[in-house]
Amino acid sequence: MFILPSLFTAGGIGAGYFAITQTLDSLTAVGNDGGASHLDWAAKAICFAIPFDALDGRIARMTNTTSDFGKELDSLADAITFGVAPCLLAWVWGFHSLPEAMNPQLRQTMLQIGSFVCFLYLLCGVSRLARFNISHDPQPRNPGRMDRKYFVGMPIPAGAGVVASVIHCELGAPIDQLRWSAVWIALIAFTSFLMVSSWRFWSAKELNVSEKQPVRGVLLIVVLLLVVVWESQYALIAIALAYLVSGVVARLAYSWGRRLG
C-alpha cells in the first residue's frame, strides 16, 4: 500500500519525461507539420500528468500511507513535470520557430527575452513548491469563506496546465509571428507571478469522494472527464484559463469589497 501513491507519482514523472523528449524531437522533425505533432503530444502529456499529481496525495491520505519519502518524491516530480517540461515546451513553441527572414537582431532579442521569461516561470514554479513544503496552514492575502481551504498562489500544476492547454488548443503549431510571441511572453510572465503571489485559488479539497454519498464530487469529476475526452482541444484551455481568471477575480473582488467597506 505504501508503494501505491508513489506509483502515481512515478507516472507523473514519466509523463514529464515524455513531454521533454517530444519537445526535443520537434526540433529535428521533418515533414509538413514542422514538429507540431511532437509539441502537441508534449502538451497532452503535461495535461495528462495533472490528475496523477492530484491523486497520489489523496490516495496516500485515504490509505493512511503518507510518508516523508512520498512528499519529497512528489515535490521533485512536480519540479520536473510541471517546471522543467513546460519551461522547455513554452520556449520551443513560442520562440524557436520565429522566421529567419525577419530582422536578425530583433529575432535574437525576442529569443533572449523569451528564454529569460521561461526561466522565470521555472524559478517561480520551484519557489512555489518550496513555499508549499514549508508552510503550515498558510492564509491568502485576500481570505475567502472561513469554511473553505484555499491554495496560496496558483499551484504549479495549474501553471503548467495553462502553458500546455494553450499549445494543445493550437494542436502544437508553433508561433511564427512576432506579435503572438509578445502575447506569449505576457501570459508566461503573468502565470509566473500568480504562482508566487499570495492570492487565493480554489483547492477543491471540499470535494470528498470518500463520503458515504459523494454524489456532487463524483458527478463533477465524471462530467469534466467526459467533456475533456470529447473536446480536449477547447475544454482544457477553458478549464485552465478559467482557473487562472478565478484567482484574479477573487483578488479584485476582495480589493473592491475593502474599498466599499
For residue 9, give the 3-state DSSP assignment: helix
C-alpha cell at 129: 513548491
Give 10-residue mean pLDDT values along the chain (261 residues). 82 96 91 85 96 84 82 92 97 92 91 96 96 82 75 95 97 94 97 95 70 67 85 94 94 84 63
Q: What is the reported pLDDT for 34?
A: 72
Rounded distance between C-alpha atoms, residue 18 and residue 164, angstroms: 14
What pLDDT, on the 0 to 100 scale, is given for residue 213?
Answer: 56
Residue 45: the pLDDT is: 97
- Rounded Cα gap, residues 4 and 227, in angstroms: 28
Return the pLDDT at 169: 96
- For cell 469522494, name the residue: 209
Q: What span, in angstroms and rounded, lies between the C-alpha atoms of 12 and 1?
A: 18
Give the per-residue pLDDT at 159. 97
Question: What cell was used for 142?
Answer: 485576500
How far apart, in whole angstroms, are the C-alpha atoms of residue 126 and residue 27?
A: 26
Predicted local distance difference test score (pLDDT) of residue 194: 97
Distance of CA 24 to the CA centre of its chain: 20
- What per-residue confidence (pLDDT) applies to 68? 83
Q: What pLDDT, on a 0 to 100 scale, did the predictor assign at position 124?
A: 97
* Model pLDDT for residues 48-74, shown as the tens digit of each residue: 999 888 888 788 878 887 888 888 899
Contact (Cβ atoms closer than 8 angstroms) between residue 250 and residue 142: yes
Question: By residue range, what is the domain housing residue 193?
Answer: 3-260
16 contacts 85 by C-beta, under 8 angstroms = yes
Long-range contacts of 66-74 (CB under 8 A, 24+ apart): 66/5, 67/2, 69/6, 70/2, 70/5, 70/6, 70/9, 71/133, 73/6, 73/9, 74/9
The pTM for the full model equals 0.90
Distance CA 129, CA 155 (A): 8
pLDDT at res. 208: 61
d(CA 261, CA 242): 28
So what's the pLDDT on residue 221? 77
| Residues 40, 168 contacting (CB under 8 angstroms) | yes
The answer to whether residues 80 and 74 touch, using CB atoms and an 8 Å cutoff, is no
3-state secondary structure 101-162: CCCHHHHHHHHHHHHHHHHHHHHHHHHHHHHHHHCCCCCCCCCCCCCCCEEECCCHHHHHHH
CA 58, distance to chain mean position in Å, is 19
Residue type, 11: G
Q: Please tell me the total count of domains within the chain.
A: 1
Q: What is the pLDDT of residue 32?
A: 67
**What is residue 209's predicted lDDT score, i.e. its pLDDT?**
55
